Structure 1
Amino acid sequence: MFNCSAVYGFVTISVNRCFAVVYPQKRFFKKLSWCFISAGIQWMLSFILPIPIFYTCYEAFMQGKLLWTLTWIGPYEFFIVLVVPAVIFAISNGIIYFTVRASSRRVHTVAASISGSSTTECLSSRDILLLKHMVFVFIVYLTGWSPVYISAAAGVTNGMPAWLFYLLQLPAGVSFMILLLDLLWYNHEVRQYLKEKFVRWLHIQ
C-alpha cells in the first residue's frame, strides 16, 4: 500500500500539473478544495488497488496455503505499480509538452509577425528543457521501480534471499528521493516558499 501511495502521489502531482498547464485560467484547479480532491483520489486508489492482494493473502493464510503459490500477485503488482502509473505519466507529460509547445509556437508566430521576419521553426530552449526534464523523470521512475516488480512478475522472487530482495527494492527508494528532490527543485513556487521559511527561521534564531 505504501508503494501505491508513493507512486500515485507522483502521478497525482503530474496530473495536477497537466491541468494547471492546460487550463491556466481555471481558478478551480488553484483552489485548496482541488488539492483535497486530488489527495482523496490518490489515497482512495492507494487503498482500493491493493485490496485483491490483501484479500487473497488473508484467504491463503486462513487456508494454510503458501503465498508463493499465488502466482498472479507478482504480475498484478507490476501492473498497478509500474504499468498504470507509467501510462498516466506519459499521457499527462505528453499533454503538458504539446500544450507548452503550442504556446511557444503562438508566441513565436506573433513575434515574427511583429518584427516582419520569417524564420524557420525550431524548438525553443524552454521546450527543450521541459522535454529533457520529462525524459529524466520518466527514466528515473522506470529504472527505480522496475527491478523489484519485474522480478516479482517473473516469479524469480520466490525463494529469493531476503538481502537480495531488499537490494532490489533499494533503487525504488533512491528513485523516490530523487523525484522528491526534483519536485522541490523544479517547482519555483515551492522552492521560493521553502527559501522564505528557511530565511525567516534563520532570523528567528
Structure 2
Amino acid sequence: MDAYSILEIVRNIVYSGVLLIALVYSCLILLISRFRHQNNMFILNLCVNTMTTCIYFIIYFYAIYYDMPQSMCILFNYAFNIASIQIPFAFVAFTVHRFCVIVYHTKALFKTKQWVVICILTQWIAQFVISLPFVFEYYDDCTSNTVWMGFYTLITAVILPSSINMILNICIFIHVRKSSLRVHPGRLNTITNGINHQQSRISRRDISLLKQMIFTFTMFIIGWTPALVINTVDVMIFVNFDVQMASVYLSVICLLAVIINLFIYNHEIRRYLFDSIRRCFHC
C-alpha cells in the first residue's frame, strides 16, 4: 500500500469521525427534551450541515476517479457548491438569530420557536438558491471547472458569510457596549438592582456564546479557505498535487476541530454524556 492510499484512508477515517461525533451530538439534542432550546437547535442545524458535507466529500473523492453521465455532472457540481457553503451559512443563521434576540430583545417573535425555524429554513433555501448557477453551467466532464465557478464558490463560502458575520457581530458588540454604559438615574432600589444584575448576567452569557461561535467560525474559515483558493487557482495554473492534498487535509482536520470544540463548549451535553458513560461502567 503506497503513501497516498494510506492518506486516503486517514482522510476518510477523519471524515467518519466528524460524522459520528455530529450524529451523537444531534441525537442527544433530539432525544432529550431539556436540550431542545434555541441555541442547541442551531447547533443541531450545524451538525446536520456538517454531516451532509462529510457525506458529500467522502463520495466526492471516490467519484472523481470515475466517469459519470453529463446529467450527473450537473448535480455533482451543484452539490459541491452546496457542501462548500452550508456550514458557514449555518453560522450565519445563528448570528442573525443572536443579533435579533440581543438587539431587538423587546420583540416577542425573536424569542419563539417559529423564529428559530424561520432562520434555519431560510438558510437552507438560501444555500440551494445561491448554488443554482452551477445547474446552468456546461461541463466537459465532472472534474472540469471554470475560473468564475471557483471564484463563485470562494466568494459564497468564505467572503460573503465572513462579511455578514463580521458586520452583525460588530453591531451586537456595539449595542452591548452602549447598553452597559447607559445610566439609568433613579433606579437605585434593591429589586431593580437585582433585575439589572440578571440582565447583565444574561448579556455576558450571550457574549460568551457569541465569542465561542466567532472563534469556531474563524477556525472553519482558516481551514477551508486554502482548499477553496487552490481549487480556483488550479484552473488557471498548475498546482502541485501534494499542495492540493495538504489543503484538503487541513480542511478535514479543521472540520474535526470545529465539531469537537462545539462539543467541549456545550457543558450540559458534555456532562450528560460523561455521566451516562460513567454509569455504564459502574453497572
How high is the TM-score relative to the length of structure 2? 0.52
Listed one character per residue, the Cα deviations across residues 98-137 of structure 1 (whole Å, up to 9, x for unaligned) are: 122122212xx459x96xxxxxxxxxxx6xx869757744
Q: Are the structure 2 counterparts of residues 85 and 65 from structure 1 closer, same or farther at C-alpha, using a change threshold of 3 Å?
A: closer
Tell me if 1:153 matches 2:229.
no
Aligned residues: CA RMSD = 3.5
Aligned partner of 1:26 in structure 2 is 107
1:180-199 to 2 correspondences below 5 Å: 180-186=259-265, 190-196=266-272, 199=275
**Aligned residue number for residue 156 of structure 2:** 80
Q: Which residue of 1 aligns with 2:251?
A: 172
What corresponds to 2:222 in structure 1?
A: 143
- The equivalent residue for 1:93 is 169
Deviates most, 160-169 or 97-106: 160-169
Alpha-carbon distance in 1 for matches of 2:239, 2:250: 17
Identity %: 23
Could you tell me how far 1:174 is from its partner in structure 2?
A: 3.2
Between stretches 193-202 and 81-90, larger displacement belongs to 193-202
Q: Residues of 2 paired with 1:105 and 1:199: CA distance?
A: 42
Matched, 1:36 2:112: no
Taking the aligned partners of 1:184 and 1:27, their CA distance within structure 2 comes to 30
Residues in 2 aligned to 1:138 and 1:66: alpha-carbon distance in whole angstroms: 29
Distance in 1 between the 2:236 and 2:258 partners? 26
Contiguous gaps of at least 5 residues in structure 1: 115-125
Cα distance, 1:24 vs structure 2: 2.6
Output the CA distance in 2 between the equivalents of 1:136 and 1:81.
17
AA of the residue aligned to 1:90 = M
Deviation of 1:81 after TM superposition, in Å, equals: 0.7
> Is 1:12–1:42's contact at 8 Å kept on the other side of the alignment?
yes
- Range with bigger deviation, 79-88 or 23-32: 23-32
Question: In structure 2, do the counterparts of structure 1 residues 157 and 183 end up closer, same or farther at CA, with 3 Å as the change threshold?
Answer: farther
Asked if 1 retains the 8 angstrom alpha-carbon contact of 2:101 and 2:110, the reply is yes
Q: Indicate the SS of the match to 1:77.
A: helix
Cα drift, residue 17 of structure 1: 1.8
| Cα distance change on mapping 1:160 and 1:11 into 2, 3 Å | same
The list of structure 1 runs, each at least 4 consecutive aligned residues, that deviate by more than 6 angstroms after superposition, is none
Aligned residues: 182
Residue 53 of structure 1 corresponds to 134
Change beyond 3 A, Cα 1:136–1:36: closer
The change in CA–CA distance for 1:66 and 1:150 in structure 2 (over 3 A counts) is closer
Structure 2 vs 1, CA of residues 71 and 156 (structure 1 numbering), >3 Å: closer, same or farther?
Answer: closer
The amino acid that maps onto 2:134 is I
Write the deviation string for residues 18-67 of structure 1: whole angstroms up to 9, x where unpaired: 222212333322322222211111111221222212431xx224xx7982
State the match for 1:5 in structure 2. 86
Contact 2:95 2:168 in 1 (8 A): yes
Change (3 A) 1:101 1:78: same
